[in-house]
Amino acid sequence: MTPNPPGRPARRHRLAATLATASVLLLVSASPAHADAIRAQQWALDAMHTEEAWRTAQGRGITVAVLDTGVDATHPDLEGQVLPGRDLIGFGARSGDRAWARHGTAMAGIIAGHGHGPNRADGVLGIAPEAKILPVRVILEGTDPARAKARSSKGGALAEGIRWAADHGADVINLSLGDDSESAHPEPGEDAAVQYALAKGAVVVASAGNGGEKGDHVSYPAAYPGVIAVTAVDEYGTRAAFSTRRWYATVSAPGVNVVIADPDRRYYEGWGTSAAAAFVSGAVALVRSAHPDLTPAQIKKLLADTARDAPKDGHDDARGHGLVDPAAAIKAGAKLSRTDLKSEAAGADGYDKRYFGSGPDAPRENSEPAAWLAPAVGGAGALLLACAVLLWRGGLRRTGVRR
């Protein structure tokens, strides 16, 4: 007997693909939404064919580590899904403070939100609503007064967090963060931690970077071998202008006008490759739930081989192999022969190939809609969720709904 898809309103509504091009989180007032507005605005659920995938798996038995700013385990959309985690920063804002766990909670909701209310019809529904979240705090919110201290004293938190997650049952490790500054470079400790996690069987997913309008600089940890690097597209499948174009792109996922949950019990619309990475981590959770014996390299290749709307040559720097399709990956995964993890060279899909690449694809004429030319925004009300060079750059807009 296959599980029933979580409750959703029968009628769907589409939103215009609009965003601001600044690397900030902007809070914008909006009129109160109807009761079903949150779920109706989750266009990514349709785009990723989740109802088809949910007929086979909803993430049961899978643990997704969210290495981020913390996760609000009491949020009604996540209640019962969040496992005891680890705080590798050890100072800064605490639970209940405004500058705590906003970004991490948003990513956890995209991955494993189960909604709330009658038939769980309200709130955010994640891609893998039966998966568990393992929170690992490795960065602070940009508004945290202790951010400078963390930047100078906790530079090894990401590598430590990856290893800790791999040692504590993570099947998937979500890294919706990265350094895509001009000075970005690989850190041996982080690279080794990623290879350690892969060797233990954990799939590692990271955001490709939000430097598409700022030079397309290489972003780490996305560029480490073995990582599933995710770029962002809008609801029309068009590459988001902010999404970094680099050789390491594996697949693309929704990253524009994404409804996210917040510890303040409101919902916002955000943008960024952070959200896209979270969607793919949820997709991986579905595949692992259906096929728990597949290795990280097999799953990475499976997502690439089954992606929809593939570029003309099968791959490009902007969208990787195309839009991730968990339903297709689950179906194709049943036909794969199983590989002994110990015989699989961790990261072998990267080290034997060109590591740094030659740069982003040349931009195509008229490849982006005019909406991408929206002016940059900033000023009062803007929040930058960042710590040192571990950044999530995206926009946020309040939906006006409190649940």
Q: Is 116 a catalytic residue?
A: no
Nearest Cα residue to 44 out of 32, 56, 53, 55: 53
Q: Can you list the residues of the chain whose pLDDT is less than 70?
A: 1-36, 340-403
Q: Answer positive or negative: Cα dihedral of 351, 353, 354, 360.
A: negative
- Contacts for 143 with CB less than 8 Å, ≥ 6 apart: 98, 99, 383, 384, 385
Query: What's the pTM?
Result: 0.82
Q: Is 23 a catalytic residue?
A: no
CB 296 within 8 A of CB 288: no
Q: Is 68 a catalytic residue?
A: yes
Task: Single out the catalytic residue among 176, 274, 281, 289.
Answer: 274
Q: Does residue 15 sit within a domain?
A: no
Task: Single out the catalytic residue among 23, 77, 103, 144.
Answer: 103
Look up the domain containing 286 and give its range. Answer: 41-402
Backbone phi, then psi, for 348, in 5-degree steps?
-65, -20
Number of domains in the chain: 1
Q: Does residue 122 sit within a domain?
A: yes
In DSSP terms, 301 is beta-bridged to none
Q: Does residue 70 sit within a domain?
A: yes
Token pair of 229, please?
Answer: 């690097």
CATH number at residue 144: 3.40.50.200
Q: Does residue 16 sit within a domain?
A: no
189-232 pLDDT, tens digit each: 999 999 999 999 999 999 999 999 999 999 999 999 999 999 99
275-330 pLDDT, tens digit each: 999 999 999 999 999 999 999 999 999 999 999 999 999 999 999 999 999 999 99
Q: Does residue 4 sit within a domain?
A: no
Task: Single out the catalytic residue among 23, 68, 179, 315.
Answer: 68
